[in-house]
């Protein structure tokens, strides 16, 4: 359904060759399998200097027609969505394509009644419930730009994002159940909105009316508005290059930036990658464990599967509740065929031993996927043997918020899958490895900076409200290329192996944080004068967060300082950015120009104190000894 079907290695080679020799033809073939209200007139216009990237210009479409309406004729009764609740005794909810279509239209009408128009930015802060999927699709239905914020970010983080993109409406839930915790989301939203000027309306989902605090003329209960809303809503015609969504992600500098994806290109790329990488076949059940608050959830819990008429499963809870067998229980219960999760989840479940897997029948599984961070060999083998019974192709998928969809990965069962290697690029993707001078490294068995030299439809178009920031972040380091921020190796066989970030971004349990972002939060403490944050290898999370902090007064109690640093991170970022280690220090290793030498701090955090490299350029080399000895 989503263009080019790669079914064997010959197909892959042929598709890859076409995508290099005639990229426009390659993408036209794929795009033409989607439903367009008006065909495009120009397939591609681009340069990576400004940058300016336009795909399928002149084309008019609505992604929800491609996700929903298109399937109604032949598959109205097919399951589109399965929802598994947090509580084990709770009822699963199931929506057919026709049922989901109605819910989305109903919610789209509610949004219209609240005054939402094409181009408005709508903040969505919700748990993993079916209504979350309705909310994204309802925005897309009427041309509003959704901006989902993962429900683990704090009020301050939310306010920063709402203010950056000027959201007029917030969609939220009264509370969220995650494991044995209940979190009052509406209260967090109220606190956030106190710092925002643009929010006019708040749409609230609640289990029981009586408990929600509603602000007059601002807050509305969904059930009150939905009871009179029609379940028919025409799809807004959207230009291919109109924004579909904004998703904030952390970079090495400043505040998180709003990555912008567009209707046409994102649709084509999400549909194409889903169909091919996972080799989805009807009526398989696909489960991506990522929260819709992250790009993986956008593309592979929602848009990719629905664009292909697939059945997607979403889960409200966490892998360890009520017991660490929950994932395996769900796979057995719903006979999941394709399972896509993160290495951090695999590593934490590995620690529980294989006895807890044994009672479950996982024989429905056909394909396994991994995403978000490098998967180490031990976790790869454990996943392959214990979950896949050494019988399921395992695809390690490398991509980013900015790429919209998977870029380098094994096409399940077709292109090579080697432990800890993402493998070959998908047809349409032209990766290169660059040296520090931006020269392409030719041949195999080389290591360098991972960049992409030609656009693909899913590439970000800009960062919201600040195009220059987009240029500087991704297109300036190496002129003429999109730079990923990752380092990689190309093996003797030509397979890519991702090494990790080469910038000041750390990847904790598959979530990105800028070290500067965490430092800024810590420095808000009145008792901390300066801090430096680095990542270090962590057995479960991939990377942990190590903070070095300097007290503003010699007499500060180190324990209180640590507590305060933690509280600041919780307040300004949220629960997801927990500090793993905090060390109070008397000084930081700095160059004469005042730049912190993180390389040295990283080595200390890794425990490699005998291998610190050259410290002679430091303003005060003695400070390193004090840090190692733990002297404050
Ligand atoms: O460092 C890479 C790592 O995650 C970063 C992208 O993070 P984010 O935009 O949050 O998107 C995560 C989900 C797509 C990349 O720059 N990363 C992602 N997938 C892999 C990976 N590193 C190694 N192997 C992967 N499969």
Residue 211 domain flag: yes
240-277 pLDDT, tens digit per residue, is 999 999 999 998 877 899 999 999 999 999 999 999 99
pLDDT at 347 over 90: yes
Query: Is the beta carbon of 401 within 6 A of some atom in ligand 1?
Result: yes
First vs last Cα of the chain: how many Å apart?
63
Q: Which residues pair with 514 in a beta bridge?
A: 505
Residue 123 domain flag: yes
Closest-CA residue, ligand 1 atom 18, reads 372
Which of 261, 270, 510, 514 most suits a substitution to test ligand 1, by most atoms within 8 Å of the C-beta?
510
To 10 degrees, what angle do helices 263-277 and 23-31 make? 90
Place of tokens 């080019």: 4
Query: Is the beta carbon of 484 within 6 A of some atom in ligand 1?
Result: yes
Report whether 341 contacts 370 (CB < 8 A).
Answer: yes
Residue 279 domain flag: no
CATH of the domain at 555: 3.30.300.30
Query: Is the beta carbon of 498 within 6 A of some atom in ligand 1?
Result: yes
Residue 32 domain flag: no
Report whether 267 contacts 303 (CB < 8 A).
Answer: yes
Rounded Cα–Cα distance for residues 358 and 132 (Å): 33
Rounded Cα–Cα distance for residues 124 and 148 (Å): 5
Which has more confidence, 209 or 272? 272
Give the number of domains in the chain: 2
pLDDT at 583 over 70: yes
455-496 pLDDT, tens digit per residue, is 999 999 999 999 999 999 999 999 999 999 999 999 999 999
User: What per-residue confidence (pLDDT) applies to 220?
Assistant: 97
Which has more confidence, 632 or 400? 400
pLDDT category at 3 given cuts 50, 70, 90 is low
Query: Is the beta carbon of 373 within 6 A of some atom in ligand 1?
Result: yes
User: What per-residue confidence (pLDDT) applies to 209?
Assistant: 67
Last residue of a domain, one of 236, 268, 283: 236
Q: What is the mean pLDDT of the segment spanning 582-609? A: 91
Rounded Cα–Cα distance for residues 144 and 118 (Å): 5
Task: Name the 3-class secondary structure at 369.
Answer: strand
pLDDT at 155 over 50: yes
* Ligand 1 atom with least separation from CA of 401: 9
- For 547, list phi and psi in degrees, rounded to 5: -115, 130
Residue 524 domain flag: yes
Last residue of a domain, one of 236, 251, 271: 236
User: What per-residue confidence (pLDDT) applies to 592?
Assistant: 86
To 10 degrees, what angle do helices 130-142 and 97-113 make? 60
pLDDT at 123 over 50: yes
Residue 458 domain flag: no
Residue 350 domain flag: no
Distance 399 CA to ligand 1 centre (A): 5
HEC readout, 127-155? CCCHHHHHHHHHHHHHCCEEEECCCCECH
Closest-CA residue, ligand 1 atom 5, reads 400
Closest-CA residue, ligand 1 atom 23, reads 374
Task: Name the 3-class secondary structure at 528.
Answer: strand
Ranked by mean pLDDT, the top range of 168-182, 198-212, 242-256, 593-607 is 168-182
Rounded Cα–Cα distance for residues 200 and 266 (Å): 29
CB-based contacts of 80: which residues, under 8 Å, 6+ apart?
A: 68, 71, 95, 96, 97, 99, 100, 306, 311, 312
pLDDT category at 380 given cuts 50, 70, 90 is very high
Residue 573 domain flag: yes
Query: Is the beta carbon of 509 within 6 A of some atom in ligand 1?
Result: no
Distance 146 CA to ligand 1 centre (A): 22
Query: Is the beta carbon of 341 within 6 A of some atom in ligand 1?
Result: no
Rounded Cα–Cα distance for residues 143 and 119 (Å): 6
Reported as half-sphere exposure (CB side, CA atoms, 13 A), residue 17 has a value of 6
To 10 degrees, what angle do helices 155-165 and 185-193 make? 50
Query: Is the beta carbon of 398 within 6 A of some atom in ligand 1?
Result: yes
CB-based contacts of 62: which residues, under 8 Å, 6+ apart?
A: 37, 140, 141, 143, 235, 236, 237, 238, 263
Report whether 18 contacts 25 (CB < 8 A).
Answer: yes
Containing domain of residue 217, as a range? 97-236
Distance 465 CA to ligand 1 centre (A): 24
Last residue of a domain, one of 182, 202, 236: 236
User: What per-residue confidence (pLDDT) applies to 2?
Assistant: 45
Report whether 601 contacts 608 (CB < 8 A).
Answer: no
Query: Is the beta carbon of 273 within 6 A of some atom in ligand 1?
Result: no
Mean model confidence pLDDT for the chain: 96
Distance 436 CA to ligand 1 centre (A): 21
CB-based contacts of 25: which residues, under 8 Å, 6+ apart?
A: 18
């Amino acid at each position: 359904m989503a263009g080019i079907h790669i079914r064997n290695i010959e197909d892959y080679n042929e598709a890859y060759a076409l995508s290099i020799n005639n990229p426009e033809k390659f993408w036209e073939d794929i795009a033409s399998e989607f439903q367009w209200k008006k065909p495009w007139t120009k397939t591609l216009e681009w340069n990576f200097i400004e940058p300016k990237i336009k795909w399928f210009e002149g084309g008019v479409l609505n992604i929800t027609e491609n996700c929903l309406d298109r399937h109604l004729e032949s598959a109205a009764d097919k399951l589109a969505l399965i929802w598994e609740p947090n509580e084990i005794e709770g009822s699963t909810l199931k929506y057919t394509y026709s049922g989901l279509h109605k819910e989305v239209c109903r919610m789209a009408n509610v949004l219209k009644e609240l005054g939402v128009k094409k181009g408005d930015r709508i903040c969505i802060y919700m748990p993993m419930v079916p209504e979350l999927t309705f909310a994204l699709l309802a925005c897309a239905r009427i041309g509003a730009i959704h901006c989902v914020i993962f429900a683990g970010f704090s009020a301050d983080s939310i306010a920063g994002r709402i203010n950056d993109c000027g959201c007029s409406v917030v969609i939220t839930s009264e509370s969220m159940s995650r494991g044995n915790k209940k979190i009052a989301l509406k209260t967090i939203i109220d606190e956030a909105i106190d710092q925002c000027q643009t929010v006019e309306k708040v749409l609230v989902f609640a289990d029981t009316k009586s408990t929600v605090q509603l602000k007059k003329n601002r807050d509305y209960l969904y059930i009150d508005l939905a009871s009179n809303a029609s379940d028919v809503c025409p799809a807004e015609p959207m230009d291919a290059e109109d924004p579909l969504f904004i998703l904030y992600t952390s970079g090495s500098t400043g505040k998180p930036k709003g990555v912008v994806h567009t209707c046409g290109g994102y649709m084509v790329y999400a549909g194409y990658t889903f169909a091919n990488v996972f080799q989805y076949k009807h009526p398989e059940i696909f489960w991506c464990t990522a929260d819709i608050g992250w790009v993986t959830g956008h593309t592979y819990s929602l848009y990719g599967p629905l664009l292909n008429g697939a059945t997607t499963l979403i889960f409200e809870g966490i892998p360890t509740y009520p017991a660490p067998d929950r994932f395996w229980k769900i796979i057995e219960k719903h006979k999941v065929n394709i399972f896509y999760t993160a290495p951090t989840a695999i590593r934490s479940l590995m620690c529980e031993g294989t006895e807890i897997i044994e009672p479950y029948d996982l024989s429905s599984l056909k394909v396994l996927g991994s995403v978000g961070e490098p998967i180490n060999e031990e976790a790869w083998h454990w996943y392959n043997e214990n979950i896949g019974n050494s019988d399921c192709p395992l695809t390690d998928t490398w991509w980013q918020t900015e790429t919209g969809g998977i870029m380098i990965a094994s096409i399940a069962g077709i292109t090579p899958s080697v432990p800890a290697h993402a493998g070959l690029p998908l047809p349409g993707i032209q990766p290169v490895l660059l040296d520090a001078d931006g020269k392409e490294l030719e041949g195999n068995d080389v290591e360098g900076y991972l960049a992409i030299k030609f656009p693909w439809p899913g590439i970000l178009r800009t960062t919201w409200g600040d195009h220059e920031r987009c240029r500087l972040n991704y297109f300036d380091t190496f002129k003429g290329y999109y730079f990923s921020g990752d380092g990689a190796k190309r093996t003797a066989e030509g397979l890519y192996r991702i090494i990790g970030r080469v910038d000041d971004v750390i990847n904790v349990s598959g979530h990105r944080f800028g070290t500067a972002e965490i430092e800024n939060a810590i420095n808000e403490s009145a008792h901390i004068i300066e801090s430096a944050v680095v990542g270090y290898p962590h057995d479960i999370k991939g990377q942990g967060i190590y903070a070095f902090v300097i007290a503003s007064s010699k007499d500060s109690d180190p324990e209180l300082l640590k507590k305060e640093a933690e509280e600041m991170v919780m307040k300004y970022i949220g629960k997801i950015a927990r500090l793993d280690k905090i060390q109070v220090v008397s000084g930081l290793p700095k160059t004469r120009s005042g730049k912190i030498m993180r390389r040295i701090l990283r080595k200390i955090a890794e425990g490699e104190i005998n291998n610190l490299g050259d410290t002679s350029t430091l303003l005060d080399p003695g400070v390193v000894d004090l840090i190692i000895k733990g002297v404050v």
